[in-house]
Amino acid sequence: MAQSNYSVSKAFAIALTISCLIVAASAGSFYDEMDITFGGQRAKILNGGQDLTLALDQYSGAGFQSKNEYLFGRFDMQLKLVPGNSAGTVTTFYLSSQGAGHDEIDFEFLGNSTGNPYTVHTNVYSQGKGDKEQQFHLWFDPTAAFHTYTIVWNPQRIIFLIDNIPVRVFNNHETAGVPFPKSQPMRVYASLWNADDWATQGGRVKTDWTKAPFTASYRKFNANANKVGSNSKSTTSENDNQARSTQGLDAAGRNRIRWVQNKHMIYNYCDDKTRFPNGLPVECTRSRFL
């Protein structure tokens, strides 16, 4: 990754990381929590279930999904992204329901040519409709070490966090006619796949298959969430459930998200008047942290 992408903000980012509240939680085994969904031996569970790697070659990528379905919660995953020339590759960590009118909450990491920054692509779908993209460049090299990516999903809002620093909030504006994902249980998904028709610089930079296989690493998945199913129960106490169901941003969180969005956001659908010539989506007038 280019040094210019994060050198200026490095000291401030370190200070934010140290000062933010770190949520301690024991991580479950990938053997217990996840099922491999595609890719065969390209998906490997290692170290007694503590680590999972996905590989991509010219024949296939790989992916996995949670054994459980959830309705609201906090979902943490540590990722180390494809190093070097990752152009054309997409690494993901997201929540999704099934069916034509599905809900989805996305973290997608769009690779780039060597020395250029990853793009973190976020989106929210409700009742099958998305088009709510925000994109960011990171203030660190996501290929050099593991970093924690978090989705908080409750009836009031969705919060995207990186190393516990909020980067985006999508609030529930159903009263203004904006669909919000709150009734369909979702599973956790992750994948590594090729999307060189669009992922890197609009598809201008293609995947260099001489560098394959490309590998991304996952560890320390944790869900403090409400499991859905006949034999399921919440993974946390009633008090934790209540706190999680209304979690928002405090003053420190608002300061951090302003810093991220002012310094590191590279695309916001709420600013794209060319894309929405008849007027921006209604939620764009309601909260600057969407």
| Residues with active-site annotation | 104, 108
State how far the Cα of 269 lies from the Cα of 286, in Å rounded to an integer: 14
State how far the Cα of 286 lies from the Cα of 281, in Å rounded to an integer: 10
Look-up: residue for tokens 């590594």?
192
C-beta contacts of 97-101 below 8 A and 24+ residues apart: 97/181, 97/184, 97/185, 97/186, 97/187, 99/184, 100/128, 101/127, 101/128
Angle, helices 251-263/10-19, rounded to nearest 10 degrees: 160
State how far the Cα of 223 lies from the Cα of 72, in Å rounded to an integer: 10
Q: What is the largest CA-CA distance in the chain?
A: 54
State how far the Cα of 210 lies from the Cα of 169, in Å rounded to an integer: 39
Q: Residue 233 carries which side chain, given as an amino acid letter? A: K
Q: Coil, helix or strand for 105?
A: strand
Sheet holding 187-194, edge to edge: 34-38, 62-66, 187-194, 89-96, 104-110, 119-125, 134-136, 265-268
State how far the Cα of 238 lies from the Cα of 179, in Å rounded to an integer: 27
